[in-house]
A and B are shown apart, each in its own frame.
Chain A
């Protein structure tokens, strides 16, 4: 029975990883994207308007380039 439970847990963990894998290319890029969003949120508290939104988008666009270059080096 413990062996059966371990197998179920393994399958469950694999399923969770597979679903999370739908959202992230790498954990580092996902964490950086979340950090940029958090920065955008903090900036929007100080400077109302569109500046925080476009600053956030600019940083995310740079992340797109950096993420692709890093991924190419890993391949």
Chain B
């Protein structure tokens, strides 16, 4: 699999996680305040995100020299991946609670209940849906832009991101409830590993590192980060198990 394939995978999985979170917000606002303004807000956010990815992608890939682009984007995407991986490790080890879409749904619904309609347009619904989709989508936009621009496959990365949005939206329309069964943390874990591996690979290429077998090295890097994450989870779980056992005794 070339780096374009990794890019599609990272964009698809990253977009899937964030789309689940955005869908929960849109569903909660839509059910509480009506669908028209909610969907308008969500659509406006998606259009703004698409414009950001396309304009930034075109300007940066045509003007920035490739080694600089790979070093800078590689570094940023590595930091991004390490952050996702850190959160996924802490959740898997039980240090922080798992993301719960039902709780998010209830909280958003509670917040959306406040606020009046002004001049016929429900600006509260529009604003909450816009903000929710824009903020959740900003991370996806960055992943799509970064993997697309660096591997010169912006269309493939965009297709990966869009495919996940369409899939999650279709599931939302069919089920009409938050997608709480999707293993968000497992996907976040996988995306963290992929982004950290791609970031290291691209930053290395930017520094003139000659990776053996080119993009196949990403597999070795992914195995390394996965191993580190499993080790961290195992070490963090051990004192917790000991504490549970001593409490039970």
Contacts and interface: CB of A to CB of B under 8 A. Distances in A.
Contacts of B79: 23-24, 30, 33
Nearest to B197: A57
A64 B225 contact: yes
Given A25-B83, A40-B207, A50-B217, A60 B196 contact: yes
Given A25-B83, A68-B236, A75-B95, A61 B207 contact: no
B17 interface: no
Contact of B232 (A33, A56, A57, A69): A69
Interface residues of A, number: 34
A7 B207 CA distance: 42
Interface stretch (B25-33, B45-53, B117-125, B208-216): B208-216
A64 B82 contact: yes
A41 B67 CA distance: 12
Interface string A18-45: 0100111100011001100100110010
A50 B52 CA distance: 35
Nearest to B240: A72
Which of B210, B220, B233, B235 has most A Cβ within 10 Å? B210
Contacts, number: 114
Q: Which of A24, A37, A40, A63 has the most CB of B within 10 A?
A: A37
B86 A56 contact: no
Chain A binding surface SS class: helix
B86 A48 contact: no
A48 B82 contact: no
A51 to B, nearest CB: 8
Given A23-B76, A61-B228, A50 B210 contact: yes
B82 A29 contact: yes
A23 B84 CA distance: 9
A65 B142 CA distance: 25
B86 A25 contact: yes
24 contacts: A22-B138, A25-B87, A33-B82, A34-B75, A41-B207, A48-B210, A53-B204, A56-B203, A56-B209, A60-B78, A60-B196, A60-B200, A61-B228, A62-B228, A64-B85, A64-B225, A64-B232, A65-B228, A65-B232, A68-B93, A68-B232, A68-B233, A71-B90, A72-B93
Interface of A: 19, 22-25, 29-30, 33-34, 37, 40-41, 44, 48-50, 52-54, 56-58, 60-65, 67-69, 71-72, 75
Given A23-B83, A64-B82, A69-B236, 13 more contacts: A22-B142, A24-B79, A25-B87, A40-B203, A50-B210, A53-B211, A57-B204, A60-B225, A61-B228, A64-B232, A65-B231, A68-B86, A72-B95
